Chain A
Amino acid sequence: MEAVNAVIQYIIPVFVCFTLLYGFARRVPIYDSFITGAKEGFGIILSIFPYVLAIFLMVKTFRASGALDFLQGAVGRLTQPLGIPPEVFSVALIKPFSNAATLSIFTDILKATGPDSQASTMAAVIMGSAETTFYVLAVYLGAVGIKKSGYLAPVCLLADAVGVIIAITIVRWLT
Chain B
Amino acid sequence: MNAIWLVIICVSVLFAALNGRMAEFTQALFEAGKAAVEMCLFLLGVVSLWLGLTRILDDSGVIHRLSRFVRPVMARVFRGIPPGHPALAAITLNFLANVLGIGNAATPLGIKAMEELQTLNPRSDTVTFEMMLFIVINTSSIQLIPFTVMGLLASYGSRNPNVVFLPTLLATVVSSLAAVGLLFLFRRLAGKEASRGGR
Binding site for B on A (CB under 8 A): 1, 4-5, 8, 11-12, 15-16, 19-20, 22-23, 25-26, 28-30, 33-42, 44-45, 48-49, 52-67, 70, 100, 103, 106-107, 110-111, 114-116, 120-121, 124-134, 136-137, 139-141, 143-156, 158-160, 162-164, 166-167, 170-171, 174
Contacts and interface: CB of A to CB of B under 8 A. Distances in A.
Contact of A146 (B31, B126, B152): B126
B158 A116 contact: yes
Interface string B173-184: 011101100110
A155 B177 CA distance: 12
B185 to A, nearest CB: 9
B101 A8 contact: yes
9 contacts: A20-B56, A33-B58, A41-B49, A56-B36, A66-B21, A107-B152, A146-B124, A151-B186, A152-B135
Given A128-B149, A167-B171, A66 B8 contact: no
A125 B164 contact: yes
Contacts, number: 327
A126 B53 CA distance: 33
A136 B149 contact: no
Interface size class of B (residues with CB under 8 A): 35 or more
Given A23-B57, A129-B175, A8 B100 contact: yes
A66 B179 contact: no
B152 A110 contact: yes
B36 A53 contact: yes
The listed residue with most A CB atoms (<10 A of its CB), out of B24, B35, B37, is B35
Interface of B: 1, 4-5, 8-9, 11-16, 18-19, 21, 24-25, 27-29, 31-33, 35-37, 39-40, 43-44, 47-49, 51-62, 100-102, 105, 107-108, 110-111, 114-115, 117-118, 124-127, 131-132, 135-136, 138-141, 143, 145-150, 152-153, 156-164, 167-168, 170-172, 174-176, 178-179, 182-183, 186-187, 190, 194-195
